[in-house]
Structure 1
Amino acid sequence: MSSGSAIRGSRVGSSPMRPDERSEPAPRREVTYWCAAGHPVEVRFAADVVPPETWDCTRCGQPGGLDREKPPGRMRSEPYKSHLAYVKERRSDEDGAAILAEALAKVRQRRGRSE
């Protein structure tokens, strides 16, 4: 009978098992990206993959580029918009007045008053 352990030869809290001595890791290359603040970000890619043009900086969150002398510009932060601001973008004042009048008519009809 088995002991019920799904992973044989390991225990809870053990360190990772060593890779097989006969295997080699896939070939990789390291690419360095630079943000506008001058932070370097080193990313490892597979050797046969074309790296992307930009990569987000892990320190400041700004986009980083491959050229240290000409990094991409800072991202423009959008101002906070409330729910009402988004509604006003989609609807005109006339639409809002019509919707309000319709809703008030329904409320008055439920309460038994008509005006």
Structure 2
Amino acid sequence: MNTTDSAVRITHLPSGIVVSCQNEKSQLQNKDSAMRILRARLLAAAEERAAADASAARRSQVRTVDRSERIRTYHVPENRIADHRVGYKAHNLDAVLNGELDPLIQALIDADVAERLAETTPGA
């Protein structure tokens, strides 16, 4: 009896996904079927990867209600303002609320310059 070998195995080299198909008698039909299965698996893997990336991005943006994550504190009874990112503290809350932001902005600029210097300085 004569037999035909019509099974097909397709390997997607970048991802390592292997699909084999031997449902039909025709090798061309098996190849088409295997390609459809491979496309579906690659699409599912890409969607899963995108969902994982989106989930990780959402998790990194979620903040807790921890005091250490506060940016700035205004303490009205003591007429005090504190910027926790740069360690700026001043007892001129009224002036800041009236728009005199120069000392606060200068502290932020100084901290940014210091951070950039630390990044570019080798061995720091």
Q: TM class, shorter-chain normalised?
A: under 0.3
Structure (1/2) with the larger helix percentage: 2
TM-score (norm 1): 0.24
TM-score after normalising by structure 2 = 0.23
Higher relative contact order (CA 8 A, sep 6+): 1
